[in-house]
Amino acid sequence: MIYVKKKSLIVLLMTLAFLFVAPKAVFAQEKVKVYLFRSDTCPICQQAVAFFNELASDEEYKDMLELVDFEVSSSKNAKLMDEASEAMGDGEVNGVPYIIIGDRSFGGYTSSWDEDIKAEIKETYEDESFVDPLKDIVGETDDSNDTFIIV
């Protein structure tokens, strides 16, 4: 018969209880930046903005994305769009909206792309090794007149 000291048994039971009851560490996942280059006068751009605003309040996606919106009538933002498209390997962009999510870009917008866009957001969000290709080009976003965030 095995005899265990009462004190040792209590320590063992407490250790086991802690391992099973203790909350697991939760690491905050960085939001995916969705870059939207658009024009105030573009009706398709307005549809894209409406879609992303809806997505930003969707229970499944709201914590996954940050919409970074650039109105391209600003020469600074138009130049930024050119630099972003070059970095993405798209060459010259001839129209808006121009959307960049992760390592994928979308020239234009149609609601038939909604599921592809959602999939790209989710895939990028879950990719722990993802590095934003526009981080050095865009830098930190702010709430100035040229650059603003809708979410």
pLDDT digit string (tens) for 79-99? 999 999 999 999 999 899 999
Least confident stretch, 46-55, 124-133, 138-147: 138-147
* Confidence check: pLDDT of 106 > 70: yes
pTM of the model: 0.74
Beta bridge partners of 38: 71
Distance separating alpha carbons of residues 117 and 35, to the nearest angstrom: 12
Q: Are 107 and 96 in contact (CB under 8 A)?
A: no
